[in-house]
Each structure stands twice: as C-alpha cells, then as structure tokens.
Amino acid sequence: MVSLIVFIPLLTAFFLLALNKNAVELVRRTAFGASLLTFFISLGLFTGFDSETAAFQFVERYAWISEFGIEYYVGVDGISLFLVLLTTFLSPLVILSTWSSVEHRVREYLFFFLILETGMIGTFVAVDVFLFYVFWEVMLIPMYFLIGVWGGERRIYAALKFLLYTMVGSLLMLVAILYLAYLHNTQHGTLTFDLLRLYTLEIPVSAQMWLFAAFALSFAIKVPLFPFHTWLPDAHVEAPTGGSVILAGVLLKMGTYGFLRFALPLFPDAAHAAVPLIMALSVVGIVYGALVALVQPDMKKLVAYSSVSHLGFVMLGLFAFNIQGIEGALYQMLGHGLSTGALFLLVGVVYERRHTRLISEYGGLWKQLPLFASVFLITMLSSIGLPGLNGFVGEFLILLGTFQANTLVGAIAVSGVVLGAVYMLRLYQRVVFGPLTQPENAKLTDLSRRELAIFVPLIALMLLMGLYPKPFLSRMEKSVEATLARIHQTADNKSVESVESIGSVESLGRLSLDPTDPKDPIDLKGAS
Amino acid sequence: MDMTLPAVNWLSVLPTLLLSATGMLALFWDIWIKDDERSLLGWLSLTGIVVTALCSWLLWGHNDVESFSGMFALDAYAMFFNLVFCLVAGLTVLMSLSYLETAEIRHGEYYALILFATVGMTVMAAATDLIFIFLGLETMSIAVYVLAGIWRQHLTSHEAALKYFLLGAFASGFLLYGIALIYGATGSVQLGPIAEHVGTQGSSPLLLIGMGLLIVGFGFKVAAVPFHVWTPDVYQGSPTTVTAFMAVGVKAAAFAAFARIFLHTLGAVHADWQGILWVVAALTMTVGNITALVQHNIKRMLAYSSIAHAGYLLVAMVAGKDLGGAALLYYLVAYGLMNLGAFGVMVAVGRRGEPHEELDDYAGLGFRYPALGMAMTVFMLSLTGVPPLVGFTGKFYIFSAAVQAGYIWLAVIGVLNSVVSAYYYIRVVVNMYMREGEAIVALPSLRSALGVAILIAAIGTVLMGVFPSASMSLAGASFLSLG
C-alpha cells in the first residue's frame, strides 16, 4: 500500500507525457484524479493504523543494492503517518488550484508536481537512510523547475538559490550517512543503511558532534532555522502559488521531520549539547520572523516570514525533549501545513484577479468578496492559534513543553505568539476591512465553486484538528515516546543502565573503538 | 642458438586483433569507396566494435591466462575495460555518422583512427608489462593526435592537435623515464616481478622518483591538476565527437593502466603514493569545478568538467583497496555514459557551419525539443550527481570507498565540489527551460544513428542509476580478478 501511494504520482507523471499537450483539460483531470486516488489510498493508512505500537507499520522491504546492504525499505509510524497524509491531502487541492493559476505548459507543470509528490511521500516513508536520501534529493529537482519555469520575475535566481542551499546541506549529510553505515560495519560486521539498526550504534561523543552537525545543517537549511532562512522568502515569493503551498506546507516539514527522525535519536549526546544553541536560534527566528513579517508590504513575503517564525516554534518543541513539546511540534507541523498552505492559496486567489500582492492595493474586500473574507478569517485565526482551531493545540503543547525545559525561552517565545497575532490581524485588517479605496477591487468576483472546493476541506480539517485532537495525538504517542526514549539514551545514561541492568562492561567496551583497526573510520584523518 | 618462442595465448589478444583487423579493413576500403558511401565505413567499424564487445563479454570469466611471457593478461579486469572501450568507441561512431557530415569532415581515415586508438586502449588495459603499456599508450595517443587535428578547415583544430601532441610527447617522456627508473629500482619491467620486489623490499628513493614520474605521465593523460592546462583548448578545438572520445576513452584507458600499476602492482607501498594523489585529487576536483563555473561555451565547460571528474576518479584511486578499485571501474562506465550523452546532444544541436556551442544557443531549447531537452537534463543532473541517476550512484560508490578507507575529508571536499558543479551544470538546464531563445533555432532533424546513441546513453544513465547492483558486482568482480 505504501509503495502504491509513493509511486502512483510518479507513474501518472510519465503517463501525462504520453498525452497530447494541448488537451489541457484532460491532462489536468488525469493529474487531479491520480492525486485524489493517492489520497484515498493513503486514508487506509490512517484507518488501519495501530496506535498501540511504535514500530513501523505497512512495511515493505526488498533488497535493492545488496553490495551496500541497501534496501527498499518503507513503512509509516506515528511520526510519518500524518506527514504522509498532509502531503496526499494538499496535493489534489494544489492541482485543483492550477486550473486558474497555471495557464502555460500545464502538462509539464503537473509532470513536475507529481514527481515532487512522489519525492515528498518517499522521504517520509523511507526507513532505509539511503532511500531517504534518494527521495530527499529527488524532491529538489521538480521544485527547482516549478520555481524556475513558472515563477515570478526573479525566478531563476530564487530557484538556483533554493537548489544550492539545499544541496550544500544534503551532500554533507551524505558523507555522514556513509560514515554511519561503515561504523555499523565496524561495530557489527554488516554494512547497512537500515535506520532501526543504525539507532543501535554506539557512536563516540566526539564523532557524534560532527555527524550531528552534518545532519543538522542539512535539516536546519530546510526548516529553515535562523540564519539559514534567506533562501525561503526568495523562493516563496517567486514560486507559483502551488509551489509556495507545497514549499510551506510540506517541504519545510522535511527539516523538522529530519531532526526528529534522524538527527536527535541517532546522536543523542550531540543533540543534548546542541540544545542551547538551537533553542537560541529558534527563539531568534520566532521573534525575527515575526518582526520582519510585520513590516512586509507584500502579502506573500509576509506569509513567508511568518513561516520562519512558526517553524521556530516547531524547533523549540522538538528540542524541549519532552512528550508535550515533541507532540506539539508534530501537531504544529500539520497545523502550519494546513493554515499556511491555505494562506498561500488565498494570496493566490486575489493575485490571479488583481495581479498584485501588495497589501496597499487592497482593502475593504469584505463587502465585495464575503466568502473570501470568511475563509481568510478562519485561516488567519488558525494561523495565530485561536482556541478551537488547529494552531492552538500545537502552539499550546509546544509552549507547555518549552516552559518545562526552559522558562526564559518559553517566555520569549510567548512574545512571538503575540507578535504573530499582530501581523496577521494587521494583514487581515488592511486587506479585508476598511473602505474599498481601489476602484479595480470593486470588480473582483468572489470565490468560485472550484475555489470553494479547495478551501472547504482545509477549513473542515482545521476545525477538526482544533476541536478533536485525540485521533491525531493518540496515533503519534507511541512513536513519539519511543523516539524520546532514544533521545534520552545519552552516553551517561547508557553506561548507568548497562552497568545496573545488565551488569556487564562488555557494552561499555564497545564505546571505544580500536584505533589500530585499519577499517576504523573514526579517525578523521586528512592527507597525512 | 636455440630460440624459444614465447608461449602465446591468442585468446588473450583476440579483442585487440579483431579491432586491428577492422581498422585495417576500414583503411583499405577507404581507397575504393565512393565519397557518398563513406558512412558504410562507420557501419563496418561499428560491426567490428560490437563483435569485439561480444568476444570480450564471452572471455570475461577466463582469468589467469598469461600470454607473451607475462606481458599480456587475459583477466576480467582487461575484459571489463574492453567492454568500456567498445561502448565508448561504439557510441562515438554512432554519433560520428551524422557529425562528420555536418562538420564536413570527409576523411575515411577517421573511423580507422578511432579503431586504432581503441586498439591502443585495449593494450593498455591488458598489458602486464610497463613497456607494453607504453606501446599501447603511444598507439592510442598518436591516433588521437591525428583525430584532434582532422578538422582541417578549422585553425582551432590544428592548434588542438599541435598542443596535444607537444605536451603529450613530453608526458610520454616522463612516463618512459619513470619506467626506466622503476626498472632500475626493481630490476624488471613486468608487473608481477615488480610487485614481488616491492612486496619484499619495500620502497627505495629510486622507486619513489619513478612512481612520481609515472604519476606525472598518467596525470597528463587523465587531465589531473596541475597537468591539465592543455585540456580546455584541445577539447574545444577538436571535432566534438573526437572530444567525446578523448574525454571518456583516453581517460578510461589511462586509468586502466594507472590503477593496474598503482592499486595492484604498487599496492604494497601505497602509503608512499597515496598522500601525493590525495593532494592531486583534491586540487583536480576543485580547480576543475571552479574554473568550469565561468565558462560560457558548453564544450569548454565540459572540458573543465572532465577535469573535475578525473578528480573524483582519483579519489577512488586514493581510497584504494577492493572498494576503491571497484568504484573506479564503475564510475568510469557512469562517466562514459553521461558524458558521451551530453556530447551527443551537443552534436545534435550543432548545424552545418554553426556549432551552437554557447550557453545562449540553448535558450528555450527544452520546450521546443522535449526529447532532446529531457536527455540533456538527465545528463546534466547525472553529472551533478543527483539521484537516482548513475552519476549519483557512481559518486556514492567512490565516496563510500573514501569513507571506508578513512579519507573523510577527501569525501567532504568531493561533495562540496559536487555542489559547486551543480551551479554550472544546472545553468545549462536553466538556459534550456527558463530562458526564451532570442532567435528560433531550428535544428536539423535528428539522425537516427545519433538518436540511438543518445538514447542508449540516457537509458544507461537512468537504469544503472536505479538498479546499480548488477553493474556494481561486475565492476567489483573485475577488479578482484587482479588478484
């Protein structure tokens, strides 16, 4: 089932190339149908999910490159389940939005979009680290094309910046992945990229620092954590609506997902050491993102900077290292995906009508576009975390977790919530309320039925997630607990545990690797 | 006086003989053939190459057959390289069938020279004697010097040939001198006895100098920094198909001999040469990639890119051992496929009198010629090392060998170089898809032979990337056959 979800979009993408490129309607319907089918199949993951276990479910596992012990190994657990669903849920909505937002080279646009969907889903379901890396990189290229071909004026610059930033991080991660695999070879005699087996490695603390740095850089760029965020406003502003939605809705979550899945549980000692740094950067990101958003004249840029701020919250939650923090972070990842995705779609709606994104060009839209105004209202409230909507649950849990970990950081973060309310309310006020000053705006039409069909499911889900979080949280719980246990398995705790419970020093001995072993990759030697 | 004839195993030289015979046949047929039937020579060459490839494939399992008193080996290693050379030569001939017409090169010797150069390559890969390796190198080089200058209408082609010849002769001198010194140090020019001597006696100053000179000689042929300065001019000036042949074939052949001598024969003293190669590899990757950044001519950019790829291959040499050797073999195939493919697209984009080699000439190409654009995108992405294409699996192989051997910093330098390279490879894609062409470039319809060549390269690039297992084990087993 997981493979179906991963590969239906890819196969459809290549099928589209066989269609006549002038049969635009057929191309659109095919792509929409395929993404909808993917979504319905993925619902099976939700209903069939066993929330009593932290293990991977719906596992599929085949040998792939046996020379390196690389497998095609996919599955979902409580962490990836909802991210997969978020992807499959947003994709058909984005495709639906292309009916009006993309007019040129529709077939090619959808071709790249569907490949992107495969890449995103694959990244979330991969259990083999090599496979994860492949999907992670595969994702880059279609996104690059979406921005570079269908984007705004400075699209080439933005696309290249996006590509190069992401590549720097990911390639260093590749070296770290290789190092892990060979470390497993040294310690256990087999070369493997299976994440679950790599979790059992005993990595010396000094090496952990390097490895964590390599992984964390790659993920921090993707999140984006301050100060690695500069590619984001460019990419967001230049990307076409669909690209922005996916970028904000799903791609940014890859970074936080990466931290939770790989960087934290693989290198717990380094992760603990990095807490002050990451927390500081997150808080700076929260406040900085909010302040910059406050002064943006461009709606899209405002939403982009609000993402920097929101993702700062997610990072805080993750690095609180407690169950509330991490569950809150996961919940906020979903919530942010919905609300920011919806915000970008809303910006797209007015942009298609007026071809400007400047806030000052609007005002008083509530009378002319009542439906738009109401959808915008709910989305905006969800984004600032009003109780009863999805944003609240996530933010609340994150702050709860953060206060337990660090009161000061929690206190500063709360100011971010306030600032978030300020810039969002101001945006809403200047776009929707007030007198209708621009005569062009009097001619605008309200949401069409197709556009309603995009927003109704989004709003419904925001309400559901805000009012009844239990089906979501209960499915996350076991996996989050298991991950948390791994994060707390630092070298100090481990030695205490093994001495106490097992009473053998053998496992301690494995900590120090034999430096004379020629295959020992620990020694970071250079030319000498 | 008694003369004992050396034990000759004809099987071991069969691929070489087949290619030589085809080459001579092509040369003689050229005397009678009518001008407008010249392409028949190409098909004849192609037949010879395919037969040789089949023969090498069948001989692949026959290990440890020595011939000519230990001067020539029939091992899987040699046969693997024969297959690589046949692939390179075959694709080059396919591309040449249409290129020679657009470039107005009407010399029948062209195909014969390609074949003779390939003969030299097979000798370099199979020879187990330094003198024999040198003979193979010269056979290959002299044919390629002529090929570089075969575009008589163009001054740049003359310049390329002369430059290549002068510097190549110089490099040959270095190589020969190195061979002499190694003979002095070990008392033999045969690889077996040298390995024995080195294994028991270790290294000596004489041997060190000899190895250094060998590195200079091979460094020139593979275009490693600082012996690379000839590369851009020669690659840019030569006919495009010859450039492709040089960039891939000559490099592969030089690496075949280079790796056999250093990884196998001189493996016992690897500590003596690894340090130097480490520096050379890092420099080659970095200089190649950074200089490629500022190129506007795609052919010249690919020349610098080929320098950079020599650097990645040198990383495999530094890593050494079984994994490094196997990675080297695998990457040569990967590099061959994607690079030949890229040159194939360049041939397709060129027109009579207008080579269309500038980046701007590619503007808007992608949407106007979707198949060609997609193929070029695949090759560029693969050269960058984006999964799941063969360029990625190749780099993965090389860097994992480096990490396994403990050369983590070299691997880090390598991946950072990949990021740099992304900029200039992607620029081609940017031009094809994200800029509109000013003048509408109408391409001549794609010749079927050229189309087949590009298709083979593209399919190979994708398939070997997604399912690398079979080719990896082939490369692994081939390297292990060295013993």
Q: Can you tell me the ipTM of this complex? A: 0.89
Amino acid at B59: L
Task: Report, as an integer, the average pLDDT of B382-397.
Answer: 91
Structural domain count, chain A: 1
Q: Cβ contact (<8 Å) for B409 and A525?
A: yes
Q: For the whole model, what pTM was predicted?
A: 0.90
Q: Which two tokens stand for residue A110?
A: 């959808």
Residue-wise pLDDT tens digits, A334-367: 999 999 999 999 888 888 888 888 888 888 788 8
In this predicted structure, which of A65-69, A82-86, A322-326, B204-208 has the lowest mean pLDDT?
A65-69
Cβ-based contacts under 8 A for chains A and B? 102
Task: Report, as an integer, the average pLDDT of B99-109.
Answer: 80
DSSP string, B369-403: SHHHHHHHHHHHHHHHT-TTSHHHHHHHHHHHHHH
Within a domain: residue A94? yes
Q: Which residues of A touch B399 (CB under 8 A)?
A: 174-175, 178
CA distance B336 to chain A (A): 21
Percent share of chain B, pLDDT over 90: 45
Q: What's the pLDDT band for A497 if we cut at 50, 70, 90?
A: very low
Separation CA B38–CA B41 (nearest Å) = 6
Separation CA B275–CA B271 (nearest Å) = 7
Q: Which residues pair with A126 in a beta bridge?
A: A74
Q: Which residues of A touch B408 (CB under 8 A)?
A: 175, 179, 521, 524-525
Within a domain: residue A280? yes
Of the candidates A511, A518, A213, A209, which has an alpha carbon nearest to the alpha carbon of residue B406?
A518
Contact B47, B25 (CB under 8 A): no
Residues in Cβ contact with A402 at an 8 Å cutoff, skipping those fewer than 6 apart: A316, A317, A320, A325, A409, A410, A413
Q: What's the pLDDT band for A436 if we cut at 50, 70, 90?
A: confident
Residue-wise pLDDT tens digits, A228-245: 888 888 888 888 888 888
Percent share of chain B, pLDDT over 70: 95
Separation CA B73–CA B238 (nearest Å) = 33
Q: What's the pLDDT band for A154 if we cut at 50, 70, 90?
A: confident
Q: Considering only alpha carbons, which residue of chain A is nearest residue B429? A: A145
Task: Report, as an integer, the average pLDDT of A511-517.
Answer: 38
Q: What are phi and psi of A65, to 5 degrees?
A: -115, 90
Contact B394, B335 (CB under 8 A): yes
Q: Which residues of B touch A520 (CB under 8 A)?
A: 406
Q: How far, CA to CA in Å, does B366 sit from each of B200, B429, B432, B441? A: 60, 8, 5, 12
Q: Residue A179 belongs to what domain range?
A: 2-489
In this predicted structure, which of A436-450, B143-157, B313-327, B383-397 has the lowest mean pLDDT?
A436-450
| Substitution target from B272, B278, B399, B404 for chain A, most A beta carbons within 10 A | B404
Helices (H), A247-322: 252-258, 264-266, 268-294, 299-319
CA distance A501 to chain B (A): 34
Q: How far is CA B1 from the centre of its chain?
A: 45
Task: Report, as an integer, the average pLDDT of B460-480.
Answer: 88
Please determine, for residue A512, whether its predicted confidence score (pLDDT) is greater than 50.
no
Helices (H), B294-320: 298-319
Amino acid at B441: V
Please tell me if residue B476 touches chain A, with a CB cutoff of 8 Å: yes
Q: Which residues pair with A60 in a beta bridge?
A: A74
3-state secondary structure string across A184-202: HHHHHCCCCCEHHHHCCCC
Separation CA A88–CA A114 (nearest Å) = 11
Please determine, for residue B330, whether its predicted confidence score (pLDDT) is greater than 90.
yes
Indicate the residue of A156, A163, A527 with minimum beta-carbon distance to B422.
A163
Q: How far, CA to CA in Å, does B316 sit from each of A183, A457, B278, B321, B410? A: 20, 53, 10, 9, 10
Separation CA B1–CA B445 (nearest Å) = 67
Of the candidates B296, B284, B235, B234, which has an alpha carbon nearest to the alpha carbon of residue B255?
B284
Contact B128, B66 (CB under 8 A): yes
Predicted local confidence at residue B4, as pLDDT? 64
Q: What's the pLDDT band for B244 if we cut at 50, 70, 90?
A: very high
Using a CB cutoff of 8 Å and minimum separation of 24, what contacts does A206-209 make? Answer: A207/A179, A207/A183, A207/A522, A208/A267, A208/A268, A208/A269, A208/A270, A209/A267, A209/A270, A209/A273
Average pLDDT, chain A: 84
Average pLDDT, chain B: 88
Task: Report, as an integer, the average pLDDT of B422-445.
Answer: 78
Residue-wise pLDDT tens digits, B67-89: 777 788 888 888 999 999 999 99
SS3 content of chain B, % helix, strand, coil (to 5): 80, 5, 20
Percent share of chain A, pLDDT over 90: 17
Of the candidates A159, A311, A336, which has an alpha carbon nearest to the alpha carbon of residue A225?
A311
How many CB atoms are closer than 10 A to CB A19? 15
Of the candidates A304, A206, A249, A233, which has an alpha carbon nearest to the alpha carbon of residue A116?
A249
Q: Which B residues 367-396 touch A at CB under 8 Å? A: 367, 381, 386-388, 392-393, 396
Separation CA B187–CA A128 (nearest Å) = 52
Predicted local confidence at residue B7, as pLDDT? 66
Q: Which two tokens stand for residue B235?
A: 């690659």
Task: Report, as an integer, the average pLDDT of B352-368.
Answer: 79
Please determine, for residue A508, whether its predicted confidence score (pLDDT) is greater than 70.
no
Within a domain: residue A506? no
Q: How far, CA to CA in Å, does A77 sit from each of A73, A266, A420, B120? A: 13, 17, 32, 58
Residue predicted with more confidence, A103 or A178: A178
Q: Which residues of B touch A138 (CB under 8 A)?
A: 386-388
How many CB atoms are closer than 10 A to CB A76? 27
Task: Report, as an integer, the average pLDDT of A270-282.
Answer: 90
Separation CA B311–CA B224 (nearest Å) = 7
Phi-psi sector, A321: left (phi>0), alpha (psi -120 to 50), beta:
left
Please determine, for residue B384, whether its predicted confidence score (pLDDT) is greater than 70.
yes
Q: What's the pLDDT band for A119 if we cut at 50, 70, 90?
A: very high
Contact B144, B96 (CB under 8 A): no
Within a domain: residue A515? no
Q: Considering only alpha carbons, which residue of chain A is nearest residue B435? A: A149
Please determine, for residue B422, whether its predicted confidence score (pLDDT) is greater than 80.
yes
Predicted local confidence at residue B94, as pLDDT? 92
The SS3 assignment for B300 reads helix
3-state secondary structure string across A125-187: HECEHHHHHHHHHHHHHHHHHHHHHHCCCCHHHHHHHHHHHHHHHHHHHHHHHHHHHHHHHHH
Contact B262, B204 (CB under 8 A): no
Separation CA A391–CA A524 (nearest Å) = 45
Half-sphere exposure of A293 (CA within 13 A, CB side): 29
Q: Cβ contact (<8 Å) for B408 and A66?
A: no
3-state secondary structure string across A200-261: CCCCCHHHHHHHHHHHHHHHHHHCCCCCCCCHHHHHHHHCCHHHHHHHHHHHHHHHHHHHHH
Q: What's the pLDDT band for A69 if we cut at 50, 70, 90?
A: confident
